[in-house]
Amino acid sequence: MGMLVDGQWHDVWYDTSKSGGRFVRSVSQFRNFVTADGSAGPTGTGGFAAESGRYHLYVSLACPWAHRTLIFRKLKGLEDHIDVSVVHPLMLENGWEFRDEGAATTDHLFGSSALWQVYTKADPTYSGRVTVPVLWDKKTGTIVSNESAEIIRMFNSAFDDITGNRLDFYPEDLSADIDALNAKIYDSINNGVYKCGFATTQEAYEENFGKLFEALDTMEERLSANRYLFGDRLTEADWRFFTTLVRFDPVYVGHFKCNLKRIADYPALTRYLKDLYNHPGVAETVNFDHIKRHYYQSHKTINPTGIVPVGPEIDLA
């Protein structure tokens, strides 16, 4: 774990000393958009037109945020148009690293040993965290975006004329409702589990623990009456929720101490999780080996022995 300061790598853990033991996620800094015609998106600059083979995606199979982008790449038929490098599951003193081992790969573009080197290629004086996912532009030699919420929006529509795939997970008529629900799920659930797990005071942990399970109870109720979060319409909000749900019982219950209940104890959430997992193409994006090894072996302040629990038995088929 570490970060870049003026383009130099430093091995440091999250500093919670100024926030009462609370984990505060930093804001992503590369915020451009790929658009169908290269015009500017909601933030950043233009010049990033959708083209087959032009963009490269860096992901971790362990990371819930990167997982969103892999799901969209799959469901939107982008696999032949956007290639991928997969970091090694262990994130230690050099941060995310590349190694040709199992499902992990080399850096297919530059052969870098660590992801921070890709960040400094985009900006030699970059200061900040080195996170996945990263969407790289081969043409201009820079990072388009390192914000998953925005990368999935690009994947949802920018390449439609190239792929002919017009599935829309962010339909206009639901967009405001999706944004509102995303915000709630992000704060109390997606990021909520991290706020429990990375808390360094009892108070910070308990505050987020309460909010997390309150939010899960609300979702359980909502999904008791609906197949998906918005009735029978499968949207971006479902995929954003899914990547946390699928990691919950194998990792967050134990490693992040989110243990009031398991997802297996919620009938509607269990049915929903299985439904999404069995959606064509999605199971192939889930790698429980990387998920478990990443969390249990990378966060030495939480699990110093690095022992990965063998259980629980997970059967989502």
Decide: residue 236, CB within 10 A, 0-12 exposed, 13-18 middle, 19+ buried: buried
Nearer to ligand GSH among residue 114 and residue 204 (C-beta): 114
Asked if 28 touches ligand GSH (CB under 6 A), the answer is yes
**289 is written with which tokens?**
């080996």
**Binding flag, residue 9, ligand GSH (CB under 6 A):** no
Interface residue with ligand GSH, options 9, 34, 61, 133 (CB under 6 A): 133
Q: Which of 35, 117, 148, 244 binds ligand GSH (CB under 6 A)?
A: 148
Q: With binding defined as CB under 6 A, does residue 174 bind ligand GSH?
A: no
First to last CA, the chain: 34
| Biggest alpha carbon–alpha carbon distance for the chain | 52
Enter the tokens of residue 80. Answer: 């032949």
Rank residues 30 and 266 by Cβ distance to ligand GSH and give the closer one.
30
With respect to ligand GSH, which residue has the nearer C-beta, 220 or 236? 236
Please report how many Cα atoms fall inside a 13 Å half-sphere around the Cα of residue 50, on the Cβ side. Answer: 19
Number of residues that bind ligand GSH (CB under 6 A): 14
Site string for ligand GSH, 229-268 (x = CB under 6 A): ----------------------------------------
For helices 236-247 and 148-157, angle between their N-to-C axes, nearest 10 degrees: 130
The answer to whether 65 contacts ligand GSH (rule: CB under 6 A) is: yes
Catalytic residue among 63, 205, 258, 266: 63
Among 86, 132, 269, 282, interactor with ligand GSH by CB under 6 A: 132
Q: Give the active site residue among 58, 119, 126, 194.
A: 194
Is 186 marked active-site?
Answer: no
The DSSP secondary structure of 219-275, one letter per residue, reads HHHHHHH-SBTBBTB--HHHHHHHHHHHHIIIIITTTT---S--GGG-HHHHHHHHH
Q: Which stretch binds ligand GSH (CB under 6 A): 143-151, 158-166, 215-223, 277-285?
A: 143-151
Measured from the CB atom, is 1 or 57 closer to ligand GSH?
1
Residue choice 59, 63, 185, 234 for contact with ligand GSH (CB under 6 A):
63
Length of the chain: 317
What 8-state DSSP symbol labels residue 211?
H
CB of 41 closer than 8 Å to CB of 113? no
Q: Is 298 in the site for ligand GSH (CB under 6 A)?
A: no
Residues sharing a CB contact under 8 Å with residue 119, sequence separation 6 or more, in sequence order: 4, 126, 130, 134, 143
252 in active site: no
Q: Tell me which residue of 153, 108, 98 sits closest to 130, measured CA to CA.
A: 98
Q: Which residues are catalytic?
A: 63, 194
Residues that bind ligand GSH (CB under 6 A): 1, 28, 63, 65, 95, 129-133, 146-149
